Amino acid sequence: MYVPLGDNRVEVYQVKKFAENLTTDQKAQIVKSHARIKAYAEKRGWSIETWHLTLPLDPTPENDQWFETLTSEDGFESTWKGLSVFDNWAADFPQVLDYYLGNGKEQMQADMKRFAATTMIMLPGLDADAAEHTFSTLEPADTLDRIALLRATLNGRDPHYMYDITVGSSPAPSPVPSDHYPTVVASVSKPIDDQVVTVHILARCAESLVERPITYTGTIVVDRDSDDEREWNKFLDYGLVPSRKLKIRDMISDLPGGLGETTVEGLLLIQQPDNPAAEYDRILGVIGADGTPLAEIPVHFAAPSSNHDGTGMSSRGTDPSGILTVEVLSRTREHGTEITFNFTLSDPRGHFVADIAPAVAFVHHFSTPNTLRIADPRVPRLTQDRPIPTAKPRNAETRAATSRHHYIEALATIQQYADCALKVPDFDSVTAETAADTIRTGRLLREGIITIDWNTLSVTLHKGVEVPDGLSALVADLPLHITVGGNHHPPRQDAGHLRGSSSRCSNHRRRWHHHREVPPSTGKDHSPAHVGRTRLDHHVGPIRLWNHTLSDEVE
């Protein structure tokens, strides 16, 4: 047994069960253990302060001489702790002897009776009327010393654990575990009438859980191919804490202090270990095939956790909005370590557009041939690039996701010109026309120029105005409004209008020299239809719409 003393110094107790005069074979075992501990300490950089040969046998003169020869060349002190030392320990720590060899339960009951006699607090079994009469004048201040005595009495017997008791209207939160002992290892809450009694179980030392383990046994129940089964398998393979409660049957909790119980059926909640010091941040980005950054999000990860046999590790993180969850799973195989990234985007409806737009863009661009870039925000120049191996399938679901991305991207652009915070509406309430208008407006504000095709334009001239001959320009100021989720947002004063113009078109067939030929079409009367093209040009304060200069030829 090794007792750390700090600065890599240790005190070693070499425990043997030999209770009679040592035989040659027993001496050989001690010699082997003595050599092994020195090699063990040297390998780990330990400095042995004292080595105690500990056994229930006092040394004879011959034993003393043999022991002196064994330890004479050691650079540390060596002692023989025999039966007399054990007797002194038994006298100093009778509760340990009673815990392992005696009837600890009967001794605890005797202690409680003495406690009741000293503190005048009644034990179970007294009728309620008598208890009410006895405590009718009891004040909170009268109980403080007695409650402290109760805790001392409860903690005087168990050599491995201590117990803190809290009474309230709801279960008391468990203290945060620490590296210093005693530290909490379990908490139990039990309702009694309209009160809840919570007992925190604290390990006295690191060996407490080894000498007296706390175990839970039961049967986890999950449906095949369900989310519960997938989460449970991740817990077994990677130690990834399930995000949901799992069904459990016939659970037996073997807790010290008589606090264990059996649960026929219930829900098991496995919580993420609370270790703020091990949490970390990363910047995740998507880089295009040409090296252009396409999307970037910061992610905060919880402390990594491992599975039961140490072959898998995991960590879960979220972006600042909480809409994107990232799972990093690693598993050690014979051929190396496999690392898997899982990205889950939750429903964006109801979230502020500015908060969730980066996460939506990240997921949209996360496909081959793009690259995932990982960076530490404290050292941004050091990055890890990983190829994105999967391509998005082409189906109705991905097409709908792409449309939602373009719509949210447009809302994020419009947000820069709006005087109020925009939220993502229910997509079912957004018509195709509204979505198209919103996306087009976002493009105009983002890119500055867009083109729109039209085939009908009617102009009514003021009375007395002659019809212009040849090409002419039409200029119109159009207010820029937007409707999101049924809420109408008027334009800002510094970015409120579109000014537009278009060229005049005749009923002749035309060929537009703008990288394409527009074929003729006819209206209901089989006459040639009007065809034209308009360019929208955006300038901050005010926004303007100008026509695209087109040349024409009459055929």
What gap in Å lies between CA 435 and CA 450, rounded to an integer?
16
Torsion of CA 478, 481, 483, 489, to 10 degrees: -160
Determine contact, residues 169/194, Cβ cutoff 8 Å. Answer: yes
Q: Give the Å distances, CA to CA, from 484 to 95, 344, 433.
A: 72, 25, 13
DSSP letters, 314-331, are EEEEE-TTS-EEEEEEEE
* DSSP secondary structure letter of residue 511: -
Q: How would you class 8 by CB atoms within 10 Å of its CB: exposed for 0-12, middle for 13-18, buried for 19 or more?
A: exposed
Q: What is the mean pLDDT of each run of 10 residues along the chain (555 residues)?
A: 88 93 93 93 92 94 94 93 92 78 62 58 52 62 78 82 91 82 90 90 90 92 94 92 92 89 88 82 96 96 89 94 95 86 93 95 93 94 90 82 92 87 90 88 78 71 80 64 69 44 35 31 38 43 33 30
Report CA torsion sign: 121, 123, 125, 128: positive
| Residue 232, both tokens | 């449970």
Q: What is the radius of gyration, based on Cα positions, of the chain? A: 39
Whole-number pLDDT of residue 542: 34
Neighbours of 534 (CB within 10 A): 20
Q: What are the CA-CA distances from residue 516 to residues 22, 550, 552 (Å)? A: 105, 12, 13
Long-range contact set of residues 172-179: C-beta below 8 Å, sequence gap at least 24: 172/196, 172/198, 172/200, 174/200, 175/200, 176/274, 177/274
282, 301 Cβ separation under 8 angstroms? yes
Give dist(CA 176, CA 184) in Å, integer: 7
Q: What CA–CA distance (Å, rounded) separates 294 from 370?
A: 9
> Where would I find the beta strands (DSSP E) of 119-212?
161-168, 183-192, 195-203
Asked if residues 116 and 122 have their Cβ atoms less than 8 Å apart, the reply is yes
| 3-state SS class at 168 | strand
Helix, strand or coil, per DSSP, at residue 475: coil
pLDDT of residue 377: 94
Omega before residue 528 within 30° of 0, cis = no
**Predicted TM-score (pTM) of this structure:** 0.59
The pLDDT score that the predictor gives to residue 546 is 34
pLDDT of residue 555: 25
CB contact set of 439 (below 8 Å; sequence gap of 6+): 406, 407, 409, 410
Partners of 248 in beta bridges: 220, 266
**Which pair of structure tokens corresponds to residue 429?**
């309430």
Buried b (16+ CB within 10 A) or exposed e, 262-294: eeeeeebebeeeeeeeeebebebbbbeeeeeeb
Instruction: Give the position of tokens 């379990």.
Output: 186
Question: What angle (nearest 5°) sits at the alpha carbon of residue 547, between those of residues 543 and 550?
Answer: 160
Can you give the pLDDT at residue 478? 61
Residue 405 burial (C-beta neighbours within 10 Å; 0-12, 13-18, 19+): middle
Residue 260 to residues 98, 189, 202, 425, 466, Cα–Cα distance (Å): 21, 11, 15, 50, 99
Quote the Cα angle for 252-256-260, to 5°. 30
* Separation CA 451–CA 549 (nearest Å): 12
Burial label for 220, CB within 10 Å (0-12, 13-18, 19+), is middle
Query: What dihedral angle (degrees, nearest 10) is formed by the CA atoms of 273, 274, 276, 279?
Result: 30
Phi, psi of 236 (to 5 degrees): -70, -40
Q: Which residue has the tokens 């046994």?
A: 217
Looking at residue 320, what is its pLDDT?
96
Instruction: Name the token pair of 530.
Output: 């009007």
| Helix H or strand E segment including 71 | helix 61-71
Beta 161-168 vs 195-203: how paired, if at all? antiparallel
